[in-house]
Amino acid sequence: RKEVEQDPGPFNVPEGATVAFNCTYSNSASQSFFWYRQDCRKEPKLLMSVYSSGNEDGRFTAQLNRASQYISLLIRDSKLSDSATYLCVVSLTNTGNQFYFGTGTSLTVIP
Amino acid sequence: DAGVIQSPRHEVTEMGQEVTLRCKPISGHDYLFWYRQTMMRGLELLIYFNNNVPIDDSGMPEDRFSAKMPNASFSTLKIQPSEPRDSAVYFCASSFSGMNTGELFFGEGSRLTVL
């Protein structure tokens, strides 16, 4: 069983749409949660951390449900520049090791 | 500030040849990770080091793969002999345990093609 499971998509949405990605993780001892973004032929980069109370960064909202071991990312008012692969990441510690990546969800925002 | 630096960016080689990938982590980071990314399997952790010591190499596919970190500023991933199924993008990443975010910083990757 994979540590992190994501719907690979692809998601093709028009500009201005709202899109949501979901992710589940298998290890209930997981401590830290993140969404990374990876552009085509580039390295993954941190988009945002996910906190227990949920958190928002502009058009992006991340939520965590520990009971269901479920993480989500909501993107409002999609822009063409949001087109990328979004990776769900789970860490077993808060101190920088044992990161587990989902296979990613592909998003294309269409003009 | 310089990020994680990897070399070479691209490598094309023939089956059976030795491949060495190099990584310079961000100065001051105490964790270094080697990942492999393919379309089929996504990002797979191969091995990681803490303070230059290998901690978990369970992701290393087989004995053909080896990794070293002789000092805090340099690591290598070696494949000998290489096979076509090793074709992938190999990422090096580093992190600092003192950061509350636990963020991973990736290099730009080494794209390996084995013919």
Question: pLDDT tens digit string along B16-29?
Answer: 999 999 999 999 99
Residues from chain A that touch B100, judged by Cβ atoms under 8 A, are 94
pLDDT tens figures, A17-29: 999 999 999 988 8
Q: How far apart are CA A35 and CA A15, in angstroms?
A: 21
Asked if A96's CB is within 8 angstroms of B42's CB, the reply is no
Q: How far apart are CA A72 and CA A70, in angstroms?
A: 7
Q: State which residue of chain A sits closest to B92, comparing Cα positions.
A: A43
Q: State which residue of chain B sits closest to A91, comparing Cα positions.
A: B102
Q: State which residue of chain B sits closest to A46, comparing Cα positions.
A: B103
Q: How far apart are CA B101 and CA B93, in angstroms?
A: 15
Compute CA distances B106 → B4, B43, B85, whole Å: 6, 12, 23
Check residue A51 and give its pLDDT.
Answer: 87
For an interface test with B, the pick among A95, A100, A105 (most B C-beta atoms closer than 10 Å) comes out as A95
Asked if A46's CB is within 8 angstroms of B104's CB, the reply is yes
pLDDT tens figures, B75-108: 999 999 999 999 999 999 999 887 766 789 999 9
Asked if A91's CB is within 8 angstroms of B102's CB, the reply is yes
Residue A96 has pLDDT above 90, yes or no: no
Residues from chain A that touch B43, judged by Cβ atoms under 8 A, are 44, 87, 101, 103-104
Instruction: Tell whether the torsion through CA atoms of A107, A56, A3 and B38 is positive or negative.
Output: positive
Q: Do A107 and B41 contact (CB within 8 A), yes or no?
A: no
Which of B42, B50, B106 is facing A43, going by the closest CB pair? B106
Residue A58 has pLDDT above 80, yes or no: yes
